[in-house]
Amino acid sequence: MSKRPFTTPWTRREVLEDLLVPAAAGIALAGLGGCGGGRELSADKRVGAPALDLVVVRNGEPDVLVREALAALGGMQRFIARGDRVVLKPNIGFNRVPEQAANTNPDVVRALAVAILNAGAKTVKIFDHSLYEARHCYARSGISKAVQDLGVELEFVDERKFVEMTLGGEWLKNWPIYRDVLEADKVINVPVAKQHSTARLSLGFKNLMGVIGGRREAFHQNIHTALADLGGFVRPTLTILDAYRILVRNGPQGGSLADAVLSRTLVAGVDMVAVDAFGCSLFDIDPAQMGFVVEASRRGIGRMDLAGLKTRTVEL
Amino acid sequence: MKRAKRLFRLANFRRLSQTVCFVLFLYLFFRMEFPPFGPAGEMEAFRIQTPVGLFFYLDPLLAVTTWIASREFLPVLLWSLVTILSAILLNRAFCGWVCPFGTLQQLLSAGKTARRRAVRSERWRWNAKRNLKYLVLAFFLAGSLLGLQQVGWLDPFSFLTRSMAVWVHPSMGLGLDGVVRLMDWIGWTTTGDTLIAGLRGVVVPFDSRFFLHAFCIGLTFGVVLALNRVETRFWCRYLCPLGAWLGVCAARAPLTLHKHADRCTRCNRCLQGCQGGDQPIPGEPWISSECHLCANCIDVCPENALEFRFRLARPVPAERRPLADLSRRAVLGAAVGGFVLAPLQAIGAENAERDRKVFKASDKLIRPPGARAEDDFLSRCVRCGACMKVCPTNALHPAAFEGGVSALWTPIVVPKIGYCDDRCTLCGQVCPTEAIRPTTLDDRLGRNGRAPIRLGLAYVDRNRCLPWAQAKPCIVCEEVCPTIQGQKAIKLVRDRVQAPDGRWIDVQKPVIDAAFCIGCGICENKCPIADRAAILVTCVGESRSVANQISLPGGQ
């Protein structure tokens, strides 16, 4: 660097050489440091299995259902450690009100967020990669209003935050996964139970389609394999199936109040396959006929033999 | 004391007013957006509470041409009387003190070097070419008599809002995206996250968006802005029909520039800062209809040779020449031009609808929900692009020639880029002239005994659709199809088909139940066939048209 007093005017060349080149070099170094310092990203958020495989709570209001289900599983602090960064993943995919049962019930989401915070979590992030226009979905689902005073982060999906990951599935080899899911300590999956035309039902596995980017619409050409591939990679800490209202026709977004049935049920467990298998029974479907449940069970992602699971049913 | 007087001078008040109005314009522009607060009741549409159309309501040019062309009195445009009144009393003060487009021109005119000013010294002098704006005005007014609203081409608020919506605003989004990705690369990822989360949907688009023909609109905007380097406020002096309209109103304004010729030393400083080019220097006739009341001339005059005075007495002082050199022949010529060109444009229209018959309908002229029948629509639409700005799904785009020359840059739905959300009414809320009518959710969804608003109709291209053409499962269109009056328009029929390799496969094939299709286009938008979707929406069956239908009314 040339030695010269600052009082004399600098030429363009001097500015370039003395200021911009070192600055650019610094930025480049910082960039290299940033690239090299990345830690191992994983989507496996499981903790040890509780005493019960499955908890089913019936005949309650949303917040009571959540409270009872968590109590039966041993409390939220069993899954959440103090200081955890937690992702809570409801379905906020559609521009529909809670009564239409297209999105997760806002009171269920709120009760869960409160429980996670009470368990000592540092941050709770809530988001969904909505299928309809996101701001409409977040507002009309009632979820943004339900959680606004809790101090949680309700985030709209930022397209640049999808990280290409190696899924190593049978069909999906690589797929972009949302960074917050990869960086979180725990992921709580809160689907709503709905009818769907290829998957037959949209439950816990289908809800994971909200943490991924890419051309999701191509999944439907081989939906069961795709869902099993995805569910084999993204392993939530806990799956809580909201069946307070279930959408029995015109899913997955509905739009008609006549298609939503009040079921007042909540299913919870750490095994997403078991939760989804039980979810089938709410629609009078044999889980053995659900392609993705069978496929996931075959791969050992979870268990679908409802009779063999330690289940507690709480009737309120 | 002297310093205080210097601070509270007229030109500074003008600068303050310009700043406030410009910031207000930007604020209102950015509030043409999905509102951050929820609706009162959840079954209601989301409403923009801010009066985002304020500048349009203040625009007397828009008011008069809309009233004449549509043959209907839209009361909200009465606000423009305020502007008319300001011109009658204070000349074109609106141009100098309020108009945000004028402020932008002024900003871009500033900073010409003294040498440049000297070279172009004759620019201060009135020249008859500046009468062009009066001819533009006559042209538009005459055209509106025949029911065609063309003023949007050059109306300043339409021009500015359109250019901002279609070109500037998306570019800002791309710019921020570039910056944030650079920050990601450096390693400042969380800063980038915060920037995106804080700015998207506020000053940059919520999602990255693109507009058809943005380049043409951006280029037009760029040329108009660049002309300021040729001559100060080129747009305002030569082109602006609103300026012309106010100039006509200001022709007998009582406010005059009083010149003390005895004090003038011909230093020419008054000419250098003059915005309107109205010849403020003593010894030359002052042209009242060109004066923006910017007060720069008074401000810089070292001899205090100039001052504004109210003079109610007639006749007009000898040195002012309102509407200088404007010949009756030229005005008549322009008016005849507007009169003749209006039907000529309409003949080129591809969606002309006369006597309940459609002539050569363009299937892609899909209008936004609540849009009026085509003729009525074109008598109101000022091509301001507010609907395109507010549309949360990027569904609305400026038309090319889908609707003929007369519909250039009016809004159309392009489902391949964005679908029309079945529970959104934002475009009708921001349309300043109600070319897109304000609608309710009951209107849109056909509740409470109403028929739903249909934009068109979807049809399946069976040669491209996966279950139909390739024996592959896919139901995405059915999945996303909104439920209208209890049913989806896309239904699945089961079939056993033979795949190209000979195997027999069970598939579900999508078919259209036209009674429940509102033409929202989400099926076309989400269809996995990326280039040309296997399900397409065309405008047949649109609610706004009597003739563009498949069946007779009541028939199915």
Question: What CATH number did the domain enclosing A147 receive?
Answer: 3.40.50.11440
Closest-CA distance of chain A to residue B42, Å: 6
pLDDT digits (tens, 9 = 90+) for B130-162: 989 999 999 999 989 988 898 999 999 999 999
> What percent of chain A clears pLDDT 70, i.e. is strictly above it?
90
CA-atom Rg of chain B in angstroms: 28
The answer to whether position A180 is within a domain reads: yes
Best mutation target, B423, B465, B487, B523, to test chain A (most A CBs within 10 A): B423
Same domain for A77 and A145, yes or no, is yes
For residue B157, give both structure tokens.
């608020």
DSSP H/E element including A58: strand A54-58
Which DSSP symbol is given to B238?
I
Same domain for A23 and A152, yes or no, is no
Whole-angstrom distance, CA of residue B154 vs CA of residue B344: 19
pLDDT digits (tens, 9 = 90+) for A254-286: 989 999 999 999 999 999 999 999 999 999 999
CA distances (Å), B61 to each of A166, A294, B152, B327, B427, in order? 61, 68, 10, 22, 22
Same domain for A262 and A307, yes or no, is yes
B174 in A contact zone (CB under 8 Å): no
Q: Give A-chain residues touching B184 at CB under 8 angstroms.
A: 160
pLDDT digits (tens, 9 = 90+) for B516-551: 999 999 999 999 999 999 999 999 999 998 888 888
Same domain for A27 and A154, yes or no, is no
The answer to whether position A3 is within a domain reads: no
The answer to whether position A142 is within a domain reads: yes
CA distances (Å), B358 to each of A78, B349, B374, B459, in order? 69, 11, 11, 20
A39 pLDDT exceeds 80? no
The answer to whether position B255 is within a domain reads: yes
Tell me which residues of chain B, numbers 307 to 366, contact chain A at a CB-CB cutoff of 8 Å.
none
* Helix orientation angle between A21-36 and B169-186, rounded to the nearest 10 degrees: 70
A37 pLDDT exceeds 50? no
CA proximity to A13, closest of A5, A21, A25, A4: A21
Place of tokens 């959680």: A147
The answer to whether position B172 is within a domain reads: no
Same domain for A157 and A117, yes or no, is yes
Do the bridges between strand B457-460 and strand B535-538 make them parallel or antiparallel, or are there none, so unpaired? antiparallel
Which DSSP symbol is given to A86?
E
B466 in A contact zone (CB under 8 Å): yes
For residue B505, give both structure tokens.
């496969």
Total domains in the fold of chain A: 2
Written as one string, the DSSP assignment of B437-449 is: ----HHHHHT-TT
CA proximity to B138, closest of B341, B310, B295: B341
Signed CA dihedral, B346, B348, B349, B355: sign only: positive
CA distances (Å), A26 to each of B166, B183, B189, in order? 37, 13, 17
Whole-angstrom distance, CA of residue B245 vs CA of residue B135: 11
Whole-angstrom distance, CA of residue B351 vs CA of residue B344: 14
Same domain for B278 and B373, yes or no, is no
DSSP H/E element including B525: helix B522-526
Q: HSE of B140 in the Cβ direction (CA atoms, 13 Å)?
A: 28
Closest-CA distance of chain B to residue A113, Å: 21
Same domain for A17 and A164, yes or no, is no
Closest-CA distance of chain B to residue A55, Å: 30
What residues contact B353, with CB distance under 8 A and at least 6 apart? B359, B373, B374, B375, B545, B546, B547, B548
The answer to whether position B550 is within a domain reads: no
Same domain for B300 and B401, yes or no, is no
Give the bridge partners for A174, in sequence order: A166
Do the bridges between strand B353-354 and strand B357-358 make them parallel or antiparallel, or are there none, so unpaired? antiparallel
pLDDT digits (tens, 9 = 90+) for A217-249: 999 999 999 999 999 999 999 999 999 999 999
The answer to whether position A44 is within a domain reads: no
Same domain for A28 and A132, yes or no, is no
**Inter-chain residue contact B197 with A155, CB threshold 8 Å:** yes
Q: What pLDDT, on the 0 to 100 scale, is given for residue B267?
A: 85
Do the bridges between strand B306-310 and strand B255-259 make them parallel or antiparallel, or are there none, so unpaired? antiparallel
pLDDT digits (tens, 9 = 90+) for B55-114: 999 999 999 999 999 999 999 999 999 999 999 999 899 999 999 999 999 999 987 765
Task: Quote the domain boundaries for residue A32.
Answer: 9-38
The answer to whether position A48 is within a domain reads: no
Q: Which candidate from A155, A197, A256 shows the least CB-CB separation from B483?
A: A256
Whole-angstrom distance, CA of residue B350 vs CA of residue B358: 9
Closest-CA distance of chain B to residue A131, Å: 8
Q: HSE of B425 in the Cβ direction (CA atoms, 13 Å)?
A: 21
Q: What pLDDT, on the 0 to 100 scale, is given for residue A30?
A: 59
Whole-angstrom distance, CA of residue A288 vs CA of residue A277: 8
Yes or no: say if B278 and B291 are a contact pair by the CB < 8 Å rule. yes
Same domain for B260 and B114, yes or no, is yes
Same domain for B104 and B12, yes or no, is yes
pTM: 0.91
Same domain for B401 and B474, yes or no, is yes
Phi, psi of A176 (to 5 degrees): -75, 125
**What ipTM describes this predicted complex?**
0.91
Closest-CA distance of chain B to residue A222, Å: 7
**Single-letter code of the amino acid located at B121:** S
Domain boundary among the residues B287, B310, B333 is at B310
Same domain for A88 and A203, yes or no, is yes
Same domain for B105 and B244, yes or no, is yes
Best mutation target, A100, A129, A140, A257, to test chain B (most B CBs within 10 A): A140
Same domain for B382 and B265, yes or no, is no
Query: Quick one: closest CA in A to B35, which residue?
Result: A135
Same domain for B297 and B150, yes or no, is yes
Total domains in the fold of chain B: 2
Q: What pLDDT, on the 0 to 100 scale, is given for residue B4?
A: 76
Q: Which candidate from A31, A155, A197 shows the least CB-CB separation from B478?
A: A197
Best mutation target, A107, A198, A219, to test chain B (most B CBs within 10 A): A198
Q: Give B-chain residues touching A138 at CB under 8 angstroms.
A: none
Phi, psi of B187 (to 5 degrees): 120, 5
Domain boundary among the residues B310, B338, B357 is at B310
Same domain for B382 and B462, yes or no, is yes
Same domain for A116 and A85, yes or no, is yes
Same domain for B243 and B386, yes or no, is no
**Inter-chain residue contact B424 with A136, CB threshold 8 Å:** yes
Give the bridge partners for B398, in sequence order: B411
Domain boundary among the residues B310, B330, B356 is at B310
Q: Can you list the residues of chain B whose pLDDT is less than 50? A: 119, 555-556
Same domain for A161 and A306, yes or no, is yes
The answer to whether position A195 is within a domain reads: yes
Query: Quick one: closest CA in B to A220, which residue?
Result: B474
pLDDT band at A152 (very low <50, low <70, confident <90, very high): very high
Which DSSP symbol is given to B254?
S
| Mean of pLDDT over chain A | 91
Tell me which residues of chain B, numbers 373 to 392, contact chain A at a CB-CB cutoff of 8 Å.
392
Phi, psi of B352 (to 5 degrees): -60, 135
The answer to whether position A219 is within a domain reads: yes
Best mutation target, A209, A221, A259, to test chain B (most B CBs within 10 A): A221
The answer to whether position B350 is within a domain reads: no
Same domain for B385 and B250, yes or no, is no
CA proximity to A203, closest of A214, A190, A212: A190
Give the bridge partners for B436, in sequence order: B371
The answer to whether position B260 is within a domain reads: yes
B423 in A contact zone (CB under 8 Å): yes
Q: What pLDDT, on the 0 to 100 scale, is given for residue A313?
A: 96
Same domain for B23 and B127, yes or no, is yes
3-class state of residue B353 by DSSP: strand
The answer to whether position B141 is within a domain reads: yes
Same domain for A224 and A134, yes or no, is yes
The answer to whether position B120 is within a domain reads: yes
Yes or no: say if B93 and B198 are a contact pair by the CB < 8 Å rule. no
The answer to whether position A1 is within a domain reads: no
Same domain for A158 and A241, yes or no, is yes
Task: Quote the domain boundaries for residue B424.
Answer: 369-538
The answer to whether position B400 is within a domain reads: yes
For residue A296, give both structure tokens.
């996931």
For residue B518, give both structure tokens.
């509102």
For residue B352, give both structure tokens.
């002309």
Which alpha helices (H) appear in B467-509, and where do they start and end?
A: 476-480
Place of tokens 């204070």: B90
Whole-angstrom distance, CA of residue A271 vs CA of residue B462: 41
The C-alpha angle with vertex A10 and arms to A9 and A11, in degrees rounded to 5, equals 120
Q: What pLDDT, on the 0 to 100 scale, is given for residue A84?
A: 96
Q: For the ranges A51-55, A191-195, B254-258, which has the lowest average pLDDT?
A: B254-258
Whole-angstrom distance, CA of residue B201 vs CA of residue A133: 12
Yes or no: say if B259 and B291 are a contact pair by the CB < 8 Å rule. no
